[in-house]
Structure formats: structure tokens, C-alpha cells
Structure 1
């Protein structure tokens, strides 16, 4: 199986092309003090977005490639507004400029770069805690915008929440000052009030910034509340399933040793379960041909598939006379 087929199961194939951004599931700006489980403000995707479905290398945690800069370990936690619970199995994209204020994938007067580059862009799926983790660099800044990171949470193949995050001004400029040999442009001259995105409110978009003695860089964290209810993540029937099956969450999750993946088939089908790590590498495959309609399950063993402790994506492929259909979810192998 090609990696592009794996990505289709996450709802990546063509999804970005028909997401109605007029219906993004996010709120409006709020300059007041944030409260628990408050809708993240909706922001523009900016002038430098890319359709991440066009290049499968974007499925990764480490998005740095050849970019120099202070290491930033970024964690986002996605929760549902309806019940303030974690939302697993959602795709989260991030993208931002490098230390000099340049975005990958663009070359124009505002962004003198290259259309063939892919640095500082990537996506992951939220785990059982609703969390995604990325390894990147602390972003620089460019004229007219305060330092920021774009992110997009795909609630399903139809809806997404788009927003941006930033950092405390003094803490951010301290990073630049302490690493002046790298960040040669110096302090960011913008304030939140002068920024055209954050001037109407930014309290809900301020990520924490904590020194990391192990990396010599920083850890950043932001809790992101979007429309929906946490516990189920992706709907049981997505467009990519074609109405042919429902894929459930593995149980137990997290698990030790073995876990069971439940699903329901509408028609008799050949079934393939594939396991991938967070770099998109295939680590295991289980086939079951001619499975009957109704409730079914497949048991996965960490030992049989050489799976170390960590998060993995499982994809169910269902093939029958109606076609081939796929869907993914995330599971966590514990020690």
C-alpha cells in the first residue's frame, strides 16, 4: 500500500479543497480573561497557507527540516465545547515562518523564498488526551505581523477550525535577545494592539513558553476549544467510509500488550487493518477476507508488530463490490 492511501484514511485526500471556511467552527475574538472551555477565536489562514494534502511528507512531528533556530516543542490540546472533554482522532495542521520571517512554498515580493520548500509545516492526529506534539523552531517575525503560528483543526472532512497562537511579548523578545546570532532581525517591534489579527483580542491564543533544559529550547502549550463534544472525535460515518462501515475506538486505550479494534460492516467485505507510527511508517498489517456484515473486531498485539511505547494510527480498509473505503483513528501503546 502506498503512503498516499494511508493519508486518505485520515480524510486528507482533497479534504482541504472543499472545506467551507465561511463555516469554520470557531468563535470571534475576545480580549477578556479566558475561561475554561471557551471557543477559540477564528482567524484567517493568512497569505501563505498550503494544501497539505499535496505532499505526504507533511505527516510528521518534526517539521524543522534544514531550518535553524531555537528548538520549540509545541503541544496543542483540543477539547470540545459541548462537554469540555478531549477530542481524539482529529487532524491538526501547523505552519509558520522561519527565524527570518520566511514561509516555505512561496516566492514573491512579500516572501522571497522558494515554491518547492516544505519546512515548518506538518500535521498530526490528536491522541486519547486530545493532544498533538510538534518539534519545530521558535518562529521569527516579518513586517506587519507579530510573531505567530497558524493552526487548523479538522473536525471532520467537512468542517475545520482555523486560528493562530502567539506568545507573551517580553518572553518572546527575550528569546530573540538570548539568541541574537540566530535571530538577527532583533526584537519584534509589533504589539498585539497594532497587529491586524490579534488587535481584537488574544487572551485565548497565548501559548505558554517554558525553558527546556534538555533541548536548550522551549516548550509551548495551548488548549484549543472547538465546536463539538469530546470523547468520540471523528464521526462514526465520514464521507470516506461511503456508508460501508463504522470504525470504533480501540479498547482499552491506552493499552498494554493487546487491544481490540471494533467495527461494523454494512456488506460482506475484505478487510485490511494497517498500523502506522507518527512519521507515517507502516509497522504492521492484518488481513481478514470475506468478513460477514455486522459487528466485527480485530485484536492487535504490540509484540507481534514490534510496537514500542507511543502513539500509533490504525487504518481500516474495507473492500467490496461498491469500492474501497478507509478510515483512521489513533491509539496509544503504554508500557
Structure 2
């Protein structure tokens, strides 16, 4: 996988980005939207992901890219009443019962003809026992419609660079926790599935302060005919809304 801010040349062949677990907080709210923040407090994050075919380097257009992550306090929508300062079983979908119907910090976009999707969100916080991360799932569709035939090609987690995360976690919205996040290096999933290859490129939007927010970007190489072992098509139906 390559990280770049430029259009991927057609001759480029990208590395296949490693898959990671979907985690317990996966759901399918069927929200096609660019701004997923829903007014959540936190440092702004503008996220651009480029989806490319790992075999050819060609942009993958029309892919449905879903992202989800916790808020500044470590809570996920749908599980807002779960205490993020206590470790839970994060190994599988459905391992933690939902507590509410909130939908903040979740949404999907169809990739454009350059394979790009863009999201406006906030810099994620963390929950006990994990480093800061953002979940991503890529579905290959027959068209820009949820009802068209589709399959899940790739599921992963994107990590945040330590330097940027330290400055963010000092901000008011992220303080007052009884636990500390794991560093990327001490997170089992970061260590075993991708390491720096799964870390976003992050840049401050403002020249002098992080308070104006960050721009994050990554190119994700997927096998478009592969079927993910992490989320099955029926999971999207079972865990809808």
C-alpha cells in the first residue's frame, strides 16, 4: 500500500492492504453522507481515502466505503452507554449488546472516478485497551445503490500517528479519562496487521495550531474480487440501523 496525495498512475501496482477485525461496534445505518460528525465535540478531521485495485493500480470507482469510529470520549454510536474506560471483548461483531440508536461518526460514500471518498468528521478518541483508530469497510457494488448486488472486499482499521494524537488528546474535549490509550506499538492489532502500512498521513490544516483540525489521507489497495473474512454480506443486513 502507498500513501500519497496525488492521483495513482495507471501503471502503479499497489500492495494489498491487510485486513483487520471489524470489532464489536459494527452496524449498518445506511447513511450515505460526507459529514458524519453530527455535532460531536472534538478536533476536526477531514479524511480522504483513495481505493485502488491492488492488482492493477487502477482506481476503483463506485465502491461503497463505510467508516465508523468512537467520539472524543471513546464512545461509539449505538453503544453510547458502554463505559469506554473499561476493557471489553473487541474480537467479534455482536459481542456487545447495543444500548441506543444514535448514528454519530458513521457513514458511507461511493468512490468517484479517481477512487476517492472524502469524509468530514472529528479526530477519534480511544477506548480502554486500544490505540486510536478508524474502521473502514469497502463494498464492491454494481451501481451507486444500496440495493444493487454487492460484496465486501476489504475490512480494515486506520491508525493515527502518535505525534498528532498526543496534541489532540491534550485538548479539552478529550481530557478527564481514567485510562490512557495504548500506543500504536503496543496495540496487538496494529502490531500484527500492517503496522505503519495502516497509519494515516496526517497534516495540520492550520499553520500554527492543531485546533483548526487535521487532514488525513491514505491509499487502500484491495482485491476487488475477494470476499472479506471479517464482514459477510448478511452482516450488513443483520446489523442494519
2:21 counterpart of 1:44? yes
Which residue in the other structure is 1:149 paired with? 134
Q: Which moved more, 1:213-222 or 1:59-68?
A: 213-222
TM-score normalised by length of structure 1: 0.53
Look up the SS of the partner of 2:166 in the other structure: helix
Residues in 2 aligned to 1:109 and 1:174: alpha-carbon distance in whole angstroms? 26
2:69 counterpart of 1:96? yes
- Would you say the 8 A contact 2:159–2:184 is kept in 1? no
Count of aligned residue pairs for this structure pair:
190
- Quote the offset at 1:175 in angstroms: 2.1
- Quote the offset at 1:108 in angstroms: 5.5
Matching of residues 75-224 of structure 1 within 5 Å: 75-107=48-80, 109-110=82-83, 114-156=99-141, 157-177=150-170, 179=171, 181-185=172-176, 188-200=180-192, 201-213=194-206, 216-224=212-220
Query: Alpha carbon RMSD of aligned pairs, Å?
Result: 2.5
Which residue in the other structure is 1:228 paired with? 224
Q: Higher strand fraction: Structure 1 or Structure 2?
A: 1
Offset from partner CA, 1:184-205 (integer Å, 9 cap, x none): 1479541223212112131211
Residues in 2 aligned to 1:107 and 1:173: alpha-carbon distance in whole angstroms? 24
Residues in 2 aligned to 1:81 and 1:116: alpha-carbon distance in whole angstroms? 36
- Would you say the 8 A contact 2:82–2:99 is kept in 1? no
Residues in 2 aligned to 1:148 and 1:172: alpha-carbon distance in whole angstroms? 10
Gaps of 5+ in 2: 1-11, 86-97, 142-149, 226-241
Look up the SS of the partner of 2:65 in the other structure: strand
Gaps of 5+ in 1: 1-34, 230-335
Look up the SS of the partner of 1:66 in the other structure: coil
Matching of residues 287-306 of structure 1 within 5 Å: none
Residues in 1 aligned to 2:205 and 2:99: alpha-carbon distance in whole angstroms? 32
Look up the SS of the partner of 2:188 in the other structure: coil
Higher relative contact order (CA 8 A, sep 6+): 2
Residues in 2 aligned to 1:49 and 1:153: alpha-carbon distance in whole angstroms? 13
Look up the SS of the partner of 2:197 in the other structure: helix
- Would you say the 8 A contact 2:19–2:154 is kept in 1? yes
- Would you say the 8 A contact 2:84–2:128 is kept in 1? no
- Would you say the 8 A contact 2:73–2:84 is kept in 1? no
Matching of residues 28-39 of structure 1 within 5 Å: 37-39=14-16
- Quote the offset at 1:111 in angstroms: 5.2
Q: Which moved more, 1:208-217 or 1:192-201?
A: 208-217
